[in-house]
Amino acid sequence: MTFDSLSTDQITTIFEEQTAAYRTLQNAGLALDLTRGKPSAEQLDLSNELLTLPGAGEFRDAAGVDTRNYGGLNGLRELREIFGKIMQVPADQVIAGENASLAMMHDTLVHALLHGMPDSPRPWGKEETVKFICPVPGYDRHFALCQQFGIEMIPVELHQDGPDMEEVRALVTDPQVKGIWIVPTYANPSGAIVNEAIAAELAAMDTAAPDFRIMWDNAYAVHHLTDEQTKTADILGLAIASGHPNRPLLFASTSKVTFAGSGVCFMGGSTENIEWYLRHLAKRTIGPDKINQLRHSLFLIDVDGVHALMDKHRAILAPKFKIVTSTLKSRLGPYGVGSWTDPKGGYFVSLNVPDGTADRVVRLAGEVGIAMTPAGASYPYGDDPNDRNIRIAPTFPSPADLAVAIDGLATCVLLAAAEQALAN
Amino acid sequence: MTFDSLSTDQITTIFEEQTAAYRTLQNAGLALDLTRGKPSAEQLDLSNELLTLPGAGEFRDAAGVDTRNYGGLNGLRELREIFGKIMQVPADQVIAGENASLAMMHDTLVHALLHGMPDSPRPWGKEETVKFICPVPGYDRHFALCQQFGIEMIPVELHQDGPDMEEVRALVTDPQVKGIWIVPTYANPSGAIVNEAIAAELAAMDTAAPDFRIMWDNAYAVHHLTDEQTKTADILGLAIASGHPNRPLLFASTSKVTFAGSGVCFMGGSTENIEWYLRHLAKRTIGPDKINQLRHSLFLIDVDGVHALMDKHRAILAPKFKIVTSTLKSRLGPYGVGSWTDPKGGYFVSLNVPDGTADRVVRLAGEVGIAMTPAGASYPYGDDPNDRNIRIAPTFPSPADLAVAIDGLATCVLLAAAEQALAN
């Protein structure tokens, strides 16, 4: 049974049922927030050991350097070793920074605009137009960076195995197209995983711009939700093999591993790219917070330590994702309304509602105290051309609150769908 | 007795004596570093309590917010209260950031170049030329920022009470002159203190640029070396009083209060300036490391806590500065060679040697293992037109090493002076 095959009377019945359900929500006085991919307090508790680390008298790194003082621009060696392995980049080509990989992406664009990349004919700011390919749905903060810097965004469809390569291939013949955003593993919000073949083509394809960059934001590299622990494609190795070592810039962080606000971020790439970044970084700071890096190194110990911690996150998160998908299935499934992802990792469920109703659904939800990310947020300029996509962030609320919120959201989806069907 | 009044024979005698002393230095195998204003390990030890803070189970700020999570773009309220008082800026107009105020200055210039200040006719990057007034001698990292961004630097003389206002007054009639660097208290390297009258004139003077900025880097606000605890002029209050609230941007940090590499930095200014900065900062990060800010708040407690800690720094530092000035006096004084500051605070002694010999002195010292900041570093483009100024950073070495280093430096000064006198 789908909405399409129903009579007006049947749809009217649904409309009345959902209107009644919505009235109940209006009286419930909810205050639930599904807007951002924030870890819950229970997840943060997993890293509480950090609150007393590095510990009394502990301030020397493995090389014996006093981490309390200035210096060490590229960050603590032993922490770069751990995340270099996760990123598949030699530790010498990894920078450990402050608490936000977004800041490294921001500054990469700033340096490119004001100075140019190592292989740029001129600073990007001196180009008439700079364009970026933006697989959609995608991460709103990537798009906000482009908008901040006047970089024109070109959406391409993101399939479950990566961006639509036919579209990408056509776009990179334009020398003004200087880059592409990629969240290779468990993309925000669709959970898409860029497969090896597509990664290889991204690394190897001819681009008209000599300084084309893949902004490889591996924010969810180790954030599995199933036993199938997806291994991210080795983009730097692929790029070197195809003669484009400077093409990928890799980003990662512990924001959703340890403390969201007090983690460590990482950037990796070719020696030339890393030297370029450090040369500009040296004007901005004398070095990162090495004590926080030491704290993380003592807490995580090694790659196995990271995976062990992520297993504990998974134990908290997998049931929450299950609540989302099973609630959507039981509430929307019978009507054949909407479709949603069942991701193998990451922080989001991507929900597609009937075209033209996403904005209405989010407003309906907001009015009964269920805060959702604005419809369209996963698209450049906030513009979802189909008004279809809603990003659900299930991590922060308690399971009980989450169940109430998704049930309420489903009511809003059905109500908006019925409204639309009756209006047509 | 001065060098000028000596006969060639007498100078030859000095040359031979100092050459012999220099040979002794050559054989001593020294490895001493007076280059950077780094705190010593003994100073860092004063803040070792931070190594176990905030403490088990401690992660809520005064308002009850979980500091482990994302958010709080402008930083922890209670820490902004403390440093707002020190900066003489309301806490609401203070941002607490990461570990480096240099980064805030860097990003201020980046935002100005790419977007313009709140009162800019256009982004600074769209101006034909942007110029900054640079009081000299000054801080090399300020000058490096200007150079990085193609901002033309115009040196003006820094007197012991502030920049030469006759020069400044003439320069600000040029609309391309968009700013001035000021270290108001215990300037790097001269120890100069901008007095109230000069601060008032800087705040009140007519400038051709509507978006003229005073980059008020109060790095040594509480870094006293004597009982005379200089109070910095209230530049924001003065600027508001004269109708230019947006003119000053104030910077400070705990880099030389707690841990040099793991402190907290601060920026203050008018509401319009702070909103402008936060609007751009929001694209770069979701928030600062609030746990490190909580750690600092718990450790410092209040303004009195800051002053009590600085008293302990002073007990370590004042004797080191005494070693520098007394060694220079005993070694150079008898010859009337050179002049140097005896600062009431801050991190440096500024030494002027006979014109044309600073570079030679620094090279002579380097060759015997006494590393000095390159001559000219305190001038834009590294160019000291008189080749006269040498910056001495006495804080990092032990007293014993410092005494050896300054004695060796004095030998180099006398040797270079004698060489020059004989060559003329």
Give the H/E segment covering residue A326: helix A303-332
Q: Which of B311, B305, B296, B239 is nearest to B264 (CA)?
A: B296
Asked whether the beta carbons of residue A283 and residue B107 sit closer than 8 angstroms, the reply is no
Q: Count other C-beta atoms under 10 Å from residue B122's C-beta.
A: 10
For residues A409 and A394, give the distance between their C-alpha atoms in angstroms, rounded to a whole number.
12
Q: What are the Cα distances from residue B145, in Å, to A295, B107, B110, B247, B378? A: 31, 10, 10, 19, 13
What is the token pair recorded at B210?
């509507």
Question: Residue A2's pLDDT is what?
Answer: 65
Q: How far is CA B55 from CA A166, A195, A293, B295, B331, in A?
A: 54, 44, 17, 8, 51
Report the percentage of chain A scoring pLDDT > 70: 100
The whole-number average pLDDT for the span A18-38 is 95
* List of chain B residues with pLDDT < 50: 1
Per-position b or e across B361-373, b if 16+ CB within 10 A of its CB: bbebbeebbbbbb
Q: Which of A39, A52, A99 sits opposite B289 (nearest CB)?
A: A99
Q: How many CB atoms lie within 10 A of CB A16?
A: 11
Mark yes or no for CB contact B286/A54 under 8 Å: no
Based on its alpha-carbon atoms, the radius of gyration of chain B, rounded to whole angstroms, reads 23
Q: Which two tokens stand for residue B408?
A: 């060796």
Contact A284 B107 (CB under 8 A): yes
Chain B residues touching residue A107 (CB < 8 angstroms): 284
> What's the pLDDT at A1?
47
Across A276-285, average pLDDT: 98
Instruction: Tell me the two tokens of residue B223.
Output: 């870094």
Which residues from A are below 8 Å from B313, CB to CB? none
Q: Domain A3-43+307-423, what fold?
A: Aspartate Aminotransferase, domain 1 (3.90.1150)
Distance of CA A350 to the CA centre of its chain: 12
What are A184-203's pLDDT values in tens digits? 999 999 999 999 999 999 99
Cα–Cα distance measured from residue B59 to residue A51, given in angstroms and rounded to the nearest whole number: 8
Q: What is the pLDDT of residue B128?
A: 97
Whether B56 and A48 lie within 8 Å, measured CB to CB:
yes
Count of CB pairs separated by less than 8 Å, A with B: 161
Overall average pLDDT of the A134-158 stretch: 98
Please give, rounded to a whole number of angstroms, the shortest distance from the CA of A225 to a CA of chain B.
Answer: 21
Instruction: Please say whether the structural domain B61-301 has been given the CATH code 3.40.50.620.
Output: no
pLDDT of residue A227: 95
Q: For residue B107, list chain A residues with Cβ-Cβ distance below 8 A.
A: 284
Q: How far apart are CA B191 and CA B259, in angstroms?
A: 22
pLDDT at A38 over 80: yes
Q: Kindly tell me if the per-residue pLDDT of A151 is higher than 70.
A: yes
Q: What are phi and psi of B40, to 5 degrees?
A: -85, 165
Residue reference for tokens 């220079």: B328
Percent of chain B with pLDDT over 90: 98
- Looking at chain A, the number of H-run helices and the number of E-run strands are 13, 13
Side chain identity at residue A398, one-letter code: S
State residue B2's pLDDT score: 65
3-state helix, strand, coil in chain B (%, to 5): 45, 15, 40
Question: Which residues lie below 8 Å from residue A317, measured CB to CB, with a gap of 6+?
Answer: A43, A225, A394, A395
Q: In what side-by-side order are the strands of the sheet with A131-136?
A: A94-96, A265-268, A248-253, A213-217, A177-182, A131-136, A152-159, A162-163
Evaluate whether A248 touches A213 at the Cβ level (below 8 Å): yes
- Residue A113: closest CA among chain B residues belongs to which residue? B114
Full DSSP string of B255-269: TTTS-TTS--EEEE-
Q: What does DSSP say about strands B349-352 and A162-163: parallel, antiparallel, or unpaired? A: unpaired
Give A340-364 pLDDT, tens digit per residue: 999 999 999 999 999 999 999 999 9
Mutate to test the interface with B, among A44, A65, A68, A146 (most CBs of B within 10 A): A68
What's residue A19's pLDDT? Answer: 98
d(CA B379, CA B80) in angstroms, rounded, equals 33
Interhelix angle A358-367/A399-423, nearest 10 degrees: 130
Confidence (pLDDT) at A3: 79
Distances (CA, A) of B418 to A91, B3, B9, B409: 51, 8, 11, 14
Residue-wise pLDDT tens digits, B278-327: 999 999 999 999 999 999 999 999 999 999 999 999 999 999 999 999 99
DSSP 8-state secondary structure symbol assigned to residue A233: P
Distances (CA, A) of B195 to A158, B181, B393: 61, 15, 24
Which of B359-365's residues contact partners 24+ apart within 8 Å by CB, and which partners? B359/B387, B360/B416, B360/B419, B360/B420, B361/B390, B361/B409, B361/B412, B361/B413, B361/B416, B362/B390, B364/B22, B364/B412, B364/B415, B364/B416, B365/B408, B365/B409, B365/B412
Using an 8 Å CB-CB cutoff, list chain A residues near B67. Answer: 261-262
Distance to chain B for A342, nearest Cα, Å: 25
**What secondary structure letter does DSSP report for A66?**
B
CA dist B31 and B47 (Å) reads 27
* Interatomic CA distance for residues B392 and B397, integer angstroms: 11
- ipTM for the predicted complex comes to 0.97
Partnered with residue B249 across adjacent β-strands are: B215
What pLDDT shows up at residue B3? Answer: 79
Token pair of A220 as six digits: 């969810």
Residues in chain B: 424
Q: Where are the domains of chain B?
A: 3-43+307-423, 61-301
Q: Which residues of A touch B285 (CB under 8 A)?
A: 99-100, 102-103, 106
B31 class by beta-carbon count within 10 Å (0-12 exposed, 13-18 middle, 19+ buried): exposed
Backbone φ, ψ for residue B391 (5° rounding): -95, 125
pLDDT tens digits, one per residue of A46-96: 999 999 999 999 999 999 999 999 999 999 999 999 999 999 999 999 999
Length of chain A: 424
Give chain A's end-to-end CA distance (angstroms, integer): 19
How far, in Å, CA of A188 to CA of A201, rounded?
21
Q: Backbone dihedral region of A303: left (phi > 0), alpha (psi from -120 to 50 degrees) or beta? A: alpha
Contacts of B54 in chain A (CB under 8 A): 51
* E-assigned strand segments in B201-279: 213-217, 248-253, 265-268
